Amino acid sequence: MGSVRRAVAVEVESPPPELSAVEEAYRRIVEEAAVYVAERGRLEREKYSELYRRFRELYPHLPAQLIQQAMNQGVEAGRSFLEARRDGRVHKPRPEVRRVSMRFAKDSWSYRKTAASAAPVRLALSLPGGRREVWIKPHRRFWLYWWRVLRKEAELASTLMLKRKRDRWYAIFTFDVQPRGGASGGSSYLRRKRKHGRSRQGEPLGHSRRRGAVE
């Protein structure tokens, strides 16, 4: 059985103003690309390059990677709109994008730990003016999945998403989780535990054998 993808949202503490500054520009790019695909059925390579250059001129403060991610997200939204219209699920003439989750690819974000933490507590994001560090508030559900990463039972996806909800920002981490008993790394870890006689009480705080729901 293959891995299962799970997303976990973690609140950002004191988000920098640059996040809100780029959100509207990102949304407009997503919407314009979605409308183009909905009207023409596809986004040709030449048109993609043309739109990219125009967006770079319109939004010079926006990092190039965010423009590319917004355009790709718009293409996906346009295709989904066409599929929904064919199925009769929507009747609008064109797609509307009201909210977005901004995507940060692997080269545009990173995480850092403190000496007392095994999981990320700070993020570095590529925003206007360079890299910006933000603190996050890890919760129990996040720790459970990160612990599985440490046990090689899950992998952290390379793309991070940032989303605003009710004036709060959330970092959305995506984990590819191996089914229980299907990860060789986790099985070997359990064998080592039994060999050395470690009990469940000896496992780190926050570990649980019951897989919880994720946000």
pLDDT in tens, 98-150: 999 999 998 899 987 655 566 678 899 999 988 899 999 999 999 999 999 99
Kindly indicate the confidence band of residue 5, based on its pLDDT and cuts at 50, 70 and 90. very high
Instruction: Supply the pLDDT for residue 187.
Output: 44
| Residues 88 and 110 grouped into a single domain | no
In a domain, 137, yes or no: yes
Q: Are residues 170 and 134 in the same domain?
A: yes
Quote the pLDDT of residue 117: 63
What pLDDT band is residue 192 in, cutting at 50, 70 and 90?
Answer: very low
CB proximity list for 192: less than 8 A, separation 6 or greater: none
pLDDT for residue 197: 47
The more confident residue out of 95 and 187 is 95
**Residues 93 and 118 both lie in one domain:** no
Helices (H) and strands (E) in the chain, counts: 5, 8
The pLDDT of residue 3 is 85
Examine the fold and report which residue of 63, 79, 100 is the final residue of a domain before the chain moves on: 100
Range of the domain at 32: 23-100
Question: Which residue in this structure is represented by tokens 């070997």?
Answer: 188
- Do 77 and 122 fall within a single domain? no
> Which of residues 100, 121, 139 is at a domain's end?
100
How many angstroms separate the CA atoms of 38 and 75, rounded? 9
- Compute CA distances 46 → 136, 152, 192, whole Å: 40, 42, 56
Q: Are residues 12 and 37 in the same domain?
A: no
Residue 214 has pLDDT above 90, yes or no: no
Tell me if 214 is assigned to some domain.
Answer: no
Checking if the pLDDT of 201 tops 90, the result is no
* The pLDDT of residue 16 is above 60: yes
Note the pLDDT of residue 208: 38
Task: Quote the percentage of the chain above a pLDDT of 70.
Answer: 80
Q: What was the pLDDT predicted at 193?
A: 43
SS3 80: helix
Statement to judge: residues 132 and 159 lie in one domain? yes
On whether both 40 and 122 belong to a single domain, the answer is no
Higher pLDDT, 206 or 124: 124
Long-range CB contacts (within 8 A, 24+) of 178-183: 178/3, 178/153, 178/154, 179/1, 179/3, 179/4, 180/211, 182/1, 183/151, 183/152, 183/153, 183/154
Same domain, residue pair 89 and 137: no
Q: How far apart are CA 27 and CA 62, in angstroms?
A: 12
Pair (96, 111) in one structural domain? no
In a domain, 150, yes or no: yes
Domain count, the chain: 2
Instruction: Let me know whether 78 and 131 are in one domain.
Output: no
What is the pLDDT at residue 1?
63
Q: Say if residue 108 is in the same domain as residue 94.
A: no
Quick one: average pLDDT of 52-68? 94
- Does 190 lie in the same domain as 164? yes
Q: How confident is the model at residue 179 (pLDDT cuts 50, 70, 90)?
A: confident
Last residue of a domain, one of 83, 100, 117: 100
Tell me if 210 is assigned to some domain. Answer: no
The region of weakest confidence among 43-52, 117-126, 160-169 is 117-126
